[in-house]
Structure 1
Amino acid sequence: MEEFKIRTYTKKELALLYFPDSTPQAVGKHLKAWIQRNKPLMDELAITGYQSNSKSYNPRQVKIIIDYLGEP
């Protein structure tokens, strides 16, 4: 298995890593739901300037996500 790298990921790209068996159309909704249910995670992402309509996560946001959700 390849080592997970913290870098910029599109939302779909990161979601596919967390939900490899889901359809590409559904993965974004799954990850978004996980994130939105975790208030401390949402609060930390907000500090970084996270916008729910953005197309990607920057490396800082990816680090925060894996701190809360674990590596995909």
Structure 2
Amino acid sequence: METTEKTKRIPEDKKETPEDKFEIKAYLKTEFAQLYFPCLSAEAALKKLRKWIAVNPELHRQLYGGREGKNDQTFSKRQVQLLIDFLEAP
């Protein structure tokens, strides 16, 4: 008995994007930074992500304008969504 597999073509507007695969949840800042810079140490990745945030005043304002502080060790779900909106998914 011979079986053949048919591959379904997915329309362009229905294809998964990186944002679809990325889970919006609270992340440790170092963990989140390493998603963008996996070849760097946790500290170096966070330093680089902070520079990206610093050069974008609107992102900085929205990111830290809520109840979360700059010195928190985690990015909240709200902050992660903002980062994805501004920087795209890692």
Q: Return the TM-score normalized by structure 2.
A: 0.72
- How many pairs were matched up? 71
Where does residue 6 of structure 2 map in the other structure?
A: none
Instruction: State the secondary structure of the residue aligned to 2:72.
Output: coil
Structure 1 residue 63, shift from structure 2 partner? 0.2
Give the Cα–Cα distance (whole angstroms) in 2 for the partners of residues 46 and 29 of structure 1.
16
Give the Cα–Cα distance (whole angstroms) in 1 for the partners of residues 42 and 62 of structure 2.
26
Give the Cα–Cα distance (whole angstroms) in 1 for the partners of residues 42 and 31 of structure 2.
9
The answer on 1:43 being equivalent to 2:80 is: no
Where does the alignment leave 5 or more consecutive residues of structure 1 unmatched? none
The answer on 1:66 being equivalent to 2:84 is: yes
Where does the alignment leave 5 or more consecutive residues of structure 2 unmatched? 1-17
The structure with the greater share of residues assigned to helix is 1
Letter in 2 for 1:53: N
- Output one character per residue of 1:19-62: Cα deviation in whole Å (capped at 9) or x when no partner: 01112231110111111111010111133223221100100110
Using CA pairs below 8 Å that are at least 6 residues apart, which structure has the higher relative contact order? 1
Letter in 2 for 1:20: P
Two-structure CA RMSD over aligned residues (Å):
1.4
Where does residue 10 of structure 1 map in the other structure?
A: 28
* Aligned structure 1 segments of 4 or more residues deviating by more than 4 angstroms: none
The answer on 1:21 being equivalent to 2:45 is: no
Give the Cα–Cα distance (whole angstroms) in 1 for the partners of residues 35 and 64 of structure 2.
22
Identity of aligned residues (%): 37
